[in-house]
Amino acid sequence: MGTRASENHSPAKAERSAGEKAIDDWLPITSSRNAKWWYSAFHDVTAMVGAGVLSLPYAMSELGWGPGTAVLILSWIITLYTMWQMVEMHEMVPGKRFNRYHELGQHAFGQKLGLWIVVPQQLIVEVGGDIVFMVTGGKSLKKFHDLPNFNSISGVSLAAAVSITPLHYSTVAWGASIHKGKLPNVNYHIPATKTPEKVFYFFGALGDVAFAYVGHNVVLEIQATIPSTPENPSKKPMWRGVVVAYIMVAICYFPVSFIGYWAFGNQVDDSILITLDKPKWLISLANMMVVIHVIGSYQIFAMPVFDMIETILVKKLRFPPGLALRLIARTTYVAFTTFVAITIPFFGGLLGFFGGFAYAPTTIDPCFHHFENIIERATELSIPNTKLPCIMWLAIYKPKRFSLSWFTNWVCIVLGVILMILAPIGALRQIIISAKTYQFFS
């Protein structure tokens, strides 16, 4: 009886396993495993560099030379460290890969709690990022449209054939700033007279810088596309790509930040390319580069969202996988983010607002599940969603108390909590101020 029942059950179980494998092969994150190390470099740069780099001179104008320089450099170091943590944790369990951020969260915090901690904040980051990318592209297109005639953009046709990378338009941004030179009446004082205003400017600038370093929320999904064997785990090529990407980030971010602020001071716009106007053909080309680049950035941020949506539709709601389902789901998402972007085009405020939520949860978090009683308190206070990579690192690897690893991760966690609280406050104030003169679909 028992043997017969087992035999009757086995084919059904095998059929379910085959069906689940077929679904996994269809879902966008797990459908391909043939990426090379340079794929990770391209994806990381696309995910990180874009809308954020254009706002860095503006962030400098709200922070000043000293604090601005310190925040930029510290952010680069911390995010590189937490990126390394994410790469290491992708295959921390022998024979298993955490292909999605929430899967790692479930391993660290439990099946249900892990979902509640990771998925909401990841969606905030990715959907918010896509909205900001839409706004960025729209502003750049407007700048391009404002040029008087085709003669103004005669160089675009020739230069458009050149590879479009963030390095190019970042170089245009700081190169054109040098060409334009320092404004005669340049002023490096924070554009506020009262202390409360200065504080809010500082908070908002933290969010702008934070948004420039988002990218961790898709790192596991990017690594999932790289093949892995016990002899050659995916973390080796992935880390090589991350290092190349961060070198590119430094080359793009620091010159734009410092030279843009040097040239325009506190008169710089929330996007440096909006401030620049000559030479017209070059600025026009740079704005079109931004448009093309944010299309790629949009896709990188949207892919995990597509994966979540399609997983729910196919695995939970039992819709048959196929082109029609994918087309409807993705078109609906793009339409939603487009509508929000054209309705509320607060570029600077959105960067700061989503940056605060993005940087703290997904960048500062891989460090913490080690102390169960603290996790329970943090859960009650809704604090766990402020420091995932560092929280997870502490939770899983359990470094010795007061060791370098323990201390480093806790410093990141504390900074992440502070940033998550302060940055959205400053950005929300900026949005409220902008809303006073706002018209829908402007």
Instruction: Give the model's pLDDT for residue 354.
Output: 52
Instruction: Give the model's pLDDT for residue 162.
Output: 42
Instruction: Give the model's pLDDT for residue 137.
Output: 67
Alpha carbon distance 51, 358 (integer Å):
14
> Could you tell me where the DSSP H helices lie in 279-403?
280-311, 323-343, 347-363, 372-380, 388-397
CB 42 within 8 A of CB 226: no
The domain tally of the chain equals: 1
Alpha carbon distance 294, 387 (integer Å):
27
- CB within 8 Å of 404: residues ≥ 6 apart: none
Q: Residues of the chain whose pLDDT is less than 50? A: 1-9, 12, 148-163, 347-348, 358-386
Residue 66, domain extent: 32-435
Alpha carbon distance 59, 240 (integer Å):
30
Q: How far apart are the first and last CA of the chain?
A: 73
Alpha carbon distance 367, 69 (integer Å):
26
Looking at residue 49, its amino acid is V
Instruction: Give the model's pLDDT for residue 257.
Output: 92
Q: How many residues does the chain have?
A: 442
Assess if residue 96 is contained within a domain.
Answer: yes
Supply 216's token pair.
Answer: 């961790």
Looking at residue 124, its amino acid is I
Instruction: Give the model's pLDDT for residue 159.
Output: 39
The closest of 13, 26, 101 to 358, measured between CA atoms, is 101
Instruction: Give the model's pLDDT for residue 403.
Output: 92
Assess if residue 7 is contained within a domain.
Answer: no
Alpha carbon distance 312, 308 (integer Å):
6
Indicate which CATH number applies to the domain containing 181: 1.20.1740
Instruction: Give the model's pLDDT for residue 84.
Output: 92
Assess if residue 44 is contained within a domain.
Answer: yes
Assess if residue 177 is contained within a domain.
Answer: yes
Alpha carbon distance 107, 96 (integer Å):
11
Alpha carbon distance 177, 260 (integer Å):
6
Assess if residue 4 is contained within a domain.
Answer: no
Assess if residue 21 is contained within a domain.
Answer: no
Instruction: Give the model's pLDDT for residue 433.
Output: 63
Assess if residue 26 is contained within a domain.
Answer: no
CB 384 within 8 A of CB 109: yes
